[in-house]
Amino acid sequence: MAPKKRVVKRRGAAQPSAAGLRLWAPWRYGYLRSVRSDHQACIFCFGRLSEAERRERLVLFENRDVLVMLNKYPYNNGHIMVAPRSHVASPELLARADRAALGDAVAASIKAMRASLHPAAFNVGANLGLAAGAGFAEHMHWHIVPRWAGDNNFMPVLASTRVLSQSLEDSYGQLRPIFKNLGAELS
C-alpha cells in the first residue's frame, strides 16, 4: 500500500491531522530484528570491554555491581540506564547490598549529569515487565532522563516525533569522562 499523500491547503482551510501520516524510521529495523532474532541476548550482560567495545555499546561506567549506559533509542538527550550486574527482572529479587549499590549508582549518575549537562529536572523510573513497556524485561534497570525547559515541543504532540538535539556520539563524548570517575563516588 502506498503512503498517504500529504495535502497542503491554503490559508483558512482545514489541515489534515497528524494521525495516519507516516514517519519512516528504517534505522529501527536493525534494533527490532536483533531483539527478535536472539531472545538470549541481554544488552546489560557482558564481560570485560575494550574502550572501543565500551564506546560501541555506549557504556559510560561499569564495576562488579552496576553499569551505566546511554540508551541507544533515547527519549531525550542524555537518557541513560543504570542496571545491576545481576540478571534479575525486578528489584525485590536483588540482594540488599545489590539494591543499595544500584540506588547509589542512580544517585551518583544524577549528580554527574547535573554537573555535566545542567538539566532543569529529571525523569527517573523503571519499567518492570513487558506490559509496563520494558524492552529488556528480564534485566531490570532504571531510566534517568534529563529534562530542560522547552525540550518537549509541538513535535511529539502533532507528529508523534521526538527531536533530539545531540547525537549519541556527542552525548557519549560529553558524559564518558564524567562517568569514568563514578567509581570514586560509589566507594
Question: What is the set of active-site residues?
Answer: 141
Question: What crossing angle do the helices spanning 168-180 and 96-117 adopt, rounded to 10°?
Answer: 120
CA–CA separation, 73 and 168 (whole Å): 9
C-alpha cell at 61: 561506567
- For residues 90 and 84, give the distance between their C-alpha atoms in angstroms, rounded to a whole number: 10
Query: Would you say 78 and 165 are in contact if contact means Cβ atoms under 8 Å apart?
Result: no
Strands (E), the chain: 59-62, 66-70, 80-84, 121-125, 142-147
Q: Is 99 exposed, middle or buried (0-12, 13-18, 19+ CB in 10 A)?
A: middle
The string of DSSP letters for 151-182 reads: -S-HHHHHHS----SS-HHHHHHHHHHHHHTH
Distance, in Å, from the CA atom of 149 to the CA atom of 121, rounded to the nearest integer, reads 8
